[in-house]
A and B are shown apart, each in its own frame.
Chain A
Amino acid sequence: QVTLRESGPALVKPTQTLTLTCTFSGFSLSTSDMCVSWIRQAPGQALEWLARIDWDDDKYYNTSLKTRLTVSKDTSKNQVVLTLTNVVPVDTATYYCARTPLEWAAFDYWGQGILVTVSS
Chain B
Amino acid sequence: IVLTQSPRSLPVTPGEPASISCRSSQSLLHRNGKNYLGWYLQKPGQSPQLLIYLASNRASGVPDRFSGSGSGTDFTLKISRVEAEDVGIYFCMQVLEIPSWTFGQGTKVEIK
Q: Residues on A close to B: CB < 8 A?
A: 46-49, 52, 60-63, 66, 96, 104-108, 110-113
Interface of B is mostly: loop
B95 on interface, CB distance cutoff 8 Å = yes
Check B53 against A104 for contact (C-beta < 8 Å): yes
Check B48 against A49 for contact (C-beta < 8 Å): no
Check A113 against B47 for contact (C-beta < 8 Å): yes
Which of the residues A47, A61, A111 comes within 8 Å of B103, measured between beta carbons? Answer: A47
Q: Residues on B close to A: CB < 8 A?
A: 34, 36, 38, 40, 47-50, 53-54, 57, 59-60, 91, 93, 95, 98-106
Interface of A is mostly: loop
Q: Which single residue of chain A is at the shortest CB-CB distance from B34? A: A105
A8 to chain B, nearest CB (A): 16
- Known contacts A47-B91, A113-B47; A106/B38 CB under 8 A: yes
Which of the residues A46, A108, A111, A113 comes within 8 Å of B105, measured between beta carbons? Answer: A46
Which of the residues A49, A61, A66, A96 comes within 8 Å of B47, measured between beta carbons? Answer: A96
A35 to chain B, nearest CB (A): 10
CA of A30 to CA of B3 in the docked complex: distance in angstroms?
32
- Known contacts A52-B98, A61-B99, A105-B54; A46/B38 CB under 8 A: no
Check A60 against B98 for contact (C-beta < 8 Å): yes
